[in-house]
Amino acid sequence: MSQIAIDTDRCRKDLACIAVCPSGTLAAGPGGYPMEAAENRCILCGHCVAICGSGAITHSGLPAGPFLPIPRKLPTPELVDGLLLSRRSVREFKAQPVAHETLATLLDIARRAPTASNSQNLHWIVVTGRESVHALAEETVRFIRASGSHPAGIARWDTGNDFVLRGAPVVIAACTPTPYEWGRQDCAIALTYMELAATARGLGVCWAGYLTRVAALHEPLRRALAVPQGYTVHGALMLGHRKFTYPRIPPRKPLSVQWNPGQA
Ligand SMILES: Cc1cc2nc3c(=O)[nH]c(=O)nc-3n(C[C@H](O)[C@H](O)[C@H](O)COP(=O)(O)O)c2cc1C
């Protein structure tokens, strides 16, 4: 059944909707108006509606919610580059909790991240409160200790240094259904959106690699996180109000790149 309707009184026939459709769902039809030419191909990305300057298209299959206006003034490249380059992994947090509305905003931004075929398969787990977060670190350390790996980290833990979650007041983990083949990539992209949005708000963020790795191997940690049956945790962030700010950006290794491989 057709999900896309064209208001021919409004349509300017620029056919931008056909050009931007990633799945070839739309084609030019009678009178030069776009029409839904192939059913069951649409990936529900919303591009046909979003591109239409005259508001001539409606799509009944999209999730409920408005099409938000694009800000008239986007940040300059200098501002965006400044954010990207000045982001650091923050491992020292104030005890102050992060406001619920801020976390809700970060989740809302992260759910806008691209996903393969627009599948939007992510499920989020948010743990707030230093004690609850510490309990996750403890469970992670239990596994690492029993496995005999990372003796240096265990020695630090035993002297009160939480090398796993760094005393953060919040942990946010991203999961997808286990059989979904792009889960790792989709979660990494969404978590990166979240990391940058949090950084822009002055929060400190660090990827929680130990927690992520152990959550894949250790059932008690999965239970502590209440990971839904059939889901895999692909990544997690610790975040909170940062204790320190960095006045300098560290150097990186030289770029390794091939331009136009195979060409003389
Ligand atoms: C996938 C991933 C996992 C990471 N896991 C941890 C972790 O468990 N603990 C930690 O302190 N840092 C972790 N990091 C942070 C890296 O150590 C950090 O990104 C790197 O040292 C570069 O520093 P920068 O982020 O400040 O540029 C992780 C980073 C990534 C991308």
Give me the percent of the chain exceeding a pLDDT of 90.
Answer: 95
264: confidence class by pLDDT, cuts 50, 70, 90:
confident
224: confidence class by pLDDT, cuts 50, 70, 90:
very high
38: confidence class by pLDDT, cuts 50, 70, 90:
confident
Ramachandran area for residue 9 (φ above 0: left; ψ -120 to 50: alpha; else beta): alpha
Nearest to 191 by CA among 180, 183, 202, 201: 183
Determine the pLDDT at residue 56: 96
Strand partners, 36: 26
Contact status, residue 177 vs residue 249, Cβ threshold 8 Å: no
Count of positions (residues) in the chain: 264
Protein residue whose Cα sits closest to atom 22 of ligand 1: 89
The rounded Å distance from CA 206 to ligand 1 centre is 6
Mean confidence (pLDDT) of the chain: 96
Tell me: the pLDDT tens digits for 18-33?
Answer: 999 999 999 999 999 9
Distances (CA, A) of 140 to 168, 177, 218: 15, 22, 8
The rounded Å distance from CA 197 to ligand 1 centre is 17
The rounded Å distance from CA 196 to ligand 1 centre is 14
209 within ligand 1 shell (Cβ under 6 A): yes
Determine the pLDDT at residue 85: 97
Architecture per CATH, domain 4-59, reads as 2-Layer Sandwich (3.30)
- Euclidean distance between CA atoms 111 and 191, whole angstroms: 9
SS3 29: coil
Boundaries of CATH 3.30.70.20 in the chain?
Answer: 4-59
**Regarding the domain with residue range 77-241, which homologous superfamily does it belong to in the CATH classification?**
NADH Oxidase (3.40.109.10)
103 within ligand 1 shell (Cβ under 6 A): no
Indicate the pTM of the whole model: 0.95
Determine the pLDDT at residue 2: 84
- Euclidean distance between CA atoms 74 and 88, whole angstroms: 23
150 within ligand 1 shell (Cβ under 6 A): no
141 within ligand 1 shell (Cβ under 6 A): no
Closest ligand 1 atom to Cα of 250: 27
CA pseudo-torsion sign 94, 98, 103, 105: negative
Residue 225 predicted with pLDDT over 80: yes
Residue range 146-155: mean pLDDT, rounded: 97
Residue range 213-228: mean pLDDT, rounded: 98
Residue range 128-140: mean pLDDT, rounded: 98
156 within ligand 1 shell (Cβ under 6 A): no
The rounded Å distance from CA 172 to ligand 1 centre is 15
Determine the pLDDT at residue 233: 98
Give me the percent of the chain exceeding a pLDDT of 70.
Answer: 100
CA pseudo-torsion sign 183, 188, 189, 194: positive
Boundaries of CATH 3.40.109.10 in the chain?
Answer: 77-241
CB count in 10 Å sphere of residue 250: 6
- Euclidean distance between CA atoms 143 and 30, whole angstroms: 65
